[in-house]
C-alpha cells in the first residue's frame, strides 16, 4: 500500500511539475509580447488591441497554472510560529488536514467555474473591444483546468503527508 501511494504521489507531483514548467514559459512569451507592443507603438506608431489583450491572457494563464506549480516547488507562504516546533508526525497530520481542505476547495472552485465557462461558450463570447480577441471561453476554460491541477497537487501533498504518518517512526 505504501509503495502504491508513493507512486501515485510522485506521479501527481510530476504532472504538476511538467505543467508548471510549460506554463512558466508563458512568462517569457509575455515579456517578448510586451516588448514587441512597446517597441512597435513607440518606434512604428503601431498598436493592436488584440496583442494588448493577449498580454493579460498570458498573465492569467501563468498565474492560474503557477498556483499548483508554486505549491509543488514549496513556494507557499506558511505561518511557522507553532508548526515548526511540532514533531514531524504532528506536522504531517496538520499537512493531511490542510491538504484535504485545499483539495475540497480547489474542486469546488473548478466545479463552480464550469457554469462560467459554459455561459461564455454558449454565447461565443469575445472581446467587447473592436479588434480584440475572440473565443474568450478558451481563456475562461483555464479556470477549471488550473483548479483541477491544484487539486491534484493537493492530493499529492496529502499522499506525501500520509506516507510520513504510515511509515514506522524513524523511516523516511
Report how far residue 151's alpha carbon sits from residue 112's, in angstroms, rounded to the nearest whole number: 14
> What is the full DSSP assignment across 20-36?
HHHHHHHHHHHHHHHHH
pLDDT one-digit tens code per residue, 71-90? 887 767 777 778 888 888 88
Question: Which residues of the chain register pLDDT less than 70?
Answer: 75, 170-172
Other Cβ atoms within 10 Å of 23 Cβ, number = 22
Other Cβ atoms within 10 Å of 81 Cβ, number = 7
For residue 147, with 0-12 CB atoms within 10 Å meaning exposed, 13-18 middle and 19 or more buried, which class applies? buried
Predicted pLDDT of residue 134: 85
User: Quick one: which of 147, 141, 75 has its CA closest to 109?
Assistant: 147
The domain ranges of the chain are: 2-166
Report how far residue 113's alpha carbon sits from residue 101's, in angstroms, rounded to the nearest whole number: 18
Report how far residue 75's alpha carbon sits from residue 8's, in angstroms, rounded to the nearest whole number: 22
Predicted pLDDT of residue 151: 94
Amino acid at each position: 500500500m505504501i509503495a502504491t501511494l508513493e507512486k501515485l504521489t510522485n506521479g501527481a507531483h510530476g504532472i504538476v511539475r511538467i505543467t508548471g514548467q510549460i506554463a512558466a514559459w508563458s512568462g517569457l512569451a509575455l515579456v517578448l509580447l510586451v516588448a514587441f507592443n512597446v517597441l512597435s507603438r513607440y518606434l512604428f506608431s503601431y498598436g493592436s488591441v488584440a496583442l494588448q489583450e493577449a498580454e493579460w491572457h498570458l498573465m492569467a494563464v501563468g498565474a492560474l497554472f503557477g498556483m499548483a506549480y508554486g505549491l509543488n516547488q514549496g513556494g507557499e507562504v506558511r505561518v511557522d510560529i507553532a508548526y515548526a516546533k511540532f514533531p514531524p508526525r504532528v506536522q504531517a497530520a496538520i499537512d493531511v488536514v490542510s491538504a484535504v481542505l485545499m483539495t475540497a476547495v480547489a474542486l469546488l472552485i473548478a466545479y463552480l467555474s464550469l457554469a462560467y465557462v459554459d455561459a461564455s461558450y454558449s454565447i461565443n463570447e469575445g472581446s467587447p473591444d473592436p479588434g480584440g480577441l475572440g473565443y474568450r471561453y478558451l481563456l475562461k476554460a483555464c479556470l477549471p483546468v488550473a483548479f483541477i491541477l491544484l487539486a491534484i497537487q493537493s492530493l499529492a501533498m496529502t499522499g506525501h503527508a500520509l506516507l510520513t504518518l504510515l511509515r514506522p517512526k524513524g523511516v523516511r
